[in-house]
Each structure stands twice: as C-alpha cells, then as structure tokens.
C-alpha cells in the first residue's frame, strides 16, 4: 500500500509529502448507544487508510484515491462540494476544520486503504480521521484529539447524510495497540482497557451484505430513540439522553410512544448496562460472561432494534452451535460482519463450518478477518 501511494504521489505531484495513517475499528459491545449518550467499547484495528499529503501553495485541494482510481480537485467554499461521494469526506473534513477556526491551506494528496467497504468496520471514519489528523498537523492548528473526532462526525452529519454518533471517529483517532476503550459518549470520559484474551481469538466474519447506513434506516433508529427519551423526560426532567433512563421509566411511557419506539428504546437501555457488565467481567478475565453479553446484544439488535439480516442471524446461530464464546452483529448493522470471540482450539472448526455452511445457503463464502487491536491516527516514519 505504501509503495503504491508513494509511486502515485510522485507521478502526480512530484517529490515530498508526508505519510499519515488511520484505522478502522471493531466494537466489542455497546452498539447504537453512542448517539444515545451511552457507553461504547471499541478499538482501532490493523486495517486502515494511509495518505501522503503535501501543502501545494494554492487554495485548492487535489486528491487522488487509489482504490477508486479517481482524481478530484476542489476549492474550499461551501459551494465547492465535489460530486464523488468519497471526495465529500475529504471536503467535509476541510470545511469542518475551517468552521472550527482552523487553517486549511491547499494540498496535494494520494490515499489508499484496506478497510473493507460497507463491512461495518468504519472505513469512512478512517478516511475522515486520517485527513483531520494530517490537516491539523500540516497547518499547525493545534486542534485537540477529541475535536478531531468531532470533525469526522460532523462531516458525516453535514456532508454525507448520516446522523452517526462519535464512536467510529473516536476509535479511529484515539486507538491504541492492544487496548479497547470504554467511552462515555455523554461526558467524553474514556478509559483504556488492555485486551489480550488469553486462549481466545477475535475474528470477524463478513456476510458481504453491503450495508447502506445513509439509507435512512440508521437515522430512523436515532429518531425513535429521541422520541422515547423525550417522552421519558416529561416525567424525569434530568434525562438528557435515553441512556440516562432507567428501564422502569420506559415502562411508564409505554402507552405514550409507539410499540416500535418502545422496543428500540428497550434495546438501548439494556445495551448501555451490558457495556458496564462486560468491562467488569473483563477485569476478572471472565470471558464466558463477556461472550454471553455479546449474544444478548445480538438478540437485541436482531429482534428489538431490527438492524440484523438473515445472513447475520445465520452466522450468529452457527456460532452458538459451534460453542463460540460470544458472537454478534457489529457496527451499524443492516449487513456487514459478526464479531466473534472464540476459543483458540475451536477456531479452525468454526471458520471451516461458517464458510461451508454459509456458502451452501447463500451461494457465496463469507470473508474472514483476524483483527489485531492497533494504533489509531498517526504520522508515519
């Protein structure tokens, strides 16, 4: 990847430029909790996006995507938004940096990545973070890391149409090798948890069903949660977010909200607690409890939050059958991967079965990614 980027940069822009890198993410538990002010528990992974960037002395951004084999050039006023969706991420990051008072001098860039697209591993957050980080460095803006993550999040909101939470960009910016991070999305407090589950492997199985977060289903889930929180707030004014609510407070408003909003909220309130339970269990090296919570999350995401699909439910069931310790759909859902915590001695048998049985039912093999918890946004060299 590095050689390709450097060769292309030289061809298009000549000498110079600095290399930056950012990562995709996994999330052990805490799904759809971030925009509800709850906890998440992600980590950056060994799949990422690398960019070579150099200030070009103009007021234009000139950027080439190796993966899309496409060159785009744009200026930095609001009306200069490019047509290509990948370029909107870069443009959005520039605009959001400017909105925060940062400087964005024109630059040349070439980038490439190995985060599978649409697999729920946050390739978009990796793209936002690598540019947010690099632009901050090259212009000497001194914007702090949490704000860099927010630049990525606002890019999604304002330039890509997804009303996402902060988890993906946070993980991508703050990721640290060998550590998961428990983030309180309401207060921004976070804690690193070393994650070296002895005797277990963390593996992702990609259903290859492409999810389209922007396809409004994600935003609809968020609206359901906001309506439920609003109803609860009438009785309990301190409830800023759904994650502040107790389960019984939700029951109090059962007649005031739709059944759909109720089950969405029921899932979220349960999930916030599960993150805390998983962190406690990890401190005792109790992976059985961690795994059981993952299965509970899958059940909730599938039946209550309704962001799973036939392929992912199939993989989850298969995991149970093969005694996998924990398994669930990961990320926004509607396709993508399951994340599986599996005992080393069961790994080969499970992966073989998953490939064969999935292919027999759905006509194609799923992809398998062994993930390593890695560093987030950084300058290379």
Residues of this chain that bind ligand GLA (CB under 6 A): 31-32, 34-35, 122, 164-165, 167-168, 331-332
Q: From the CB of 12, what's the least distance to ligand GLA, in Å?
A: 31
Contacts of 35 (CB under 8 A, 6+ apart): 163, 164, 165, 185, 222, 225
Nearer to ligand GLA, 32 or 150 (CB): 32
Nearer to ligand GLA, 25 or 227 (CB): 25
Q: From the CB of 283, what's the least distance to ligand GLA, in Å?
A: 23
Q: From the CB of 264, what's the least distance to ligand GLA, in Å?
A: 13
Nearer to ligand GLA, 17 or 42 (CB): 42
The secondary element (H helix, E strand) that includes residue 82 is none
Q: Would you give the DSSP letter of residue 244?
A: G
Active site annotation includes 108 = no
> Contact 6/52 with Cβ under 8 angstroms?
yes
In angstroms, the CA 333 to CA 267 distance is 14
Q: Is 28 helix (H, G, I), strand (E, B) or coil?
A: coil
Nearer to ligand GLA, 35 or 91 (CB): 35
Written as six digits, the tokens of 173 are: 């910016």
Neighbours of 14 (CB within 10 A): 10
Q: From the CB of 179, what's the least distance to ligand GLA, in Å?
A: 19
In angstroms, the CA 166 to CA 254 distance is 29
Contacts of 355 (CB under 8 A, 6+ apart): 365, 366, 368
Catalytic residue, from 34, 67, 114, 168: name it. Answer: 168
CA distances from 216 to 22, 160, 183, 210, 219 (A): 27, 12, 26, 15, 5
Q: From the CB of 338, what's the least distance to ligand GLA, in Å?
A: 14
Nearer to ligand GLA, 222 or 343 (CB): 222
Catalytic residues: 168
């Amino acid at each position: 990847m590095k050689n390709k980027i450097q060769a292309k940069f030289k061809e298009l822009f000549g000498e110079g430029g600095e290399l930056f890198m950012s990562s995709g993410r996994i999330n052990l538990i805490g799904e759809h909790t971030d925009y509800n002010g709850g906890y998440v528990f992600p980590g950056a992974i060994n799949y990422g996006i690398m960019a070579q960037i150099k200030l070009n002395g103009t007021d234009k951004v000139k950027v080439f995507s190796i993966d899309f084999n496409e060159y785009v050039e744009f200026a930095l006023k609001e009306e200069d938004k490019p047509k290509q969706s990948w370029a909107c991420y870069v443009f959005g990051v520039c605009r959001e940096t400017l909105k925060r008072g940062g400087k964005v001098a024109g630059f040349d860039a070439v980038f490439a990545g190995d985060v599978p697209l649409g697999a729920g591993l946050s390739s978009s957050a990796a793209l936002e973070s690598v540019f947010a980080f690099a632009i901050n460095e090259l212009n000497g803006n001194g914007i702090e890391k949490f704000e860099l993550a927010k630049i990525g999040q606002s890019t999604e909101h304002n330039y890509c149409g997804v009303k996402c939470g902060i988890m993906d960009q946070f993980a991508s910016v703050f990721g640290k090798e060998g550590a998961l991070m428990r983030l309180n999305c309401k207060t921004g407090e976070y804690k690193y948890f070393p994650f070296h589950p002895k005797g277990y492997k963390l593996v992702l199985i990609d259903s290859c069903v492409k999810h389209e977060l922007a396809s409004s289903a994600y935003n609809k889930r968020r609206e359901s949660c906001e309506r439920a929180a609003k109803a609860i707030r009438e009785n309990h004014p301190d409830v800023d977010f759904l994650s502040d609510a107790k389960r019984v407070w939700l029951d109090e408003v059962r007649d005031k909200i739709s059944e759909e909003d109720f089950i969405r909220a029921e899932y979220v309130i349960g999930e916030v607690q599960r993150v805390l339970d998983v962190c406690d269990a990890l401190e005792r090296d109790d992976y059985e409890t961690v795994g059981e919570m993952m299965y509970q999350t899958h059940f909730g995401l599938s039946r209550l939050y309704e962001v799973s699909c036939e392929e992912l439910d199939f993989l989850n069931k298969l995991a149970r059958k093969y005694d996998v310790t924990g398994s669930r759909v990961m990320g926004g859902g509607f396709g993508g991967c399951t994340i599986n915590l599996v005992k080393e001695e069961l790994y080969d048998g499970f992966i073989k079965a998953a490939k064969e049985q999935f292919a027999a039912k759905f006509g194609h093999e799923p992809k398998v990614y062994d993930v390593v918890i890695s560093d987030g946004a950084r300058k290379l060299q």
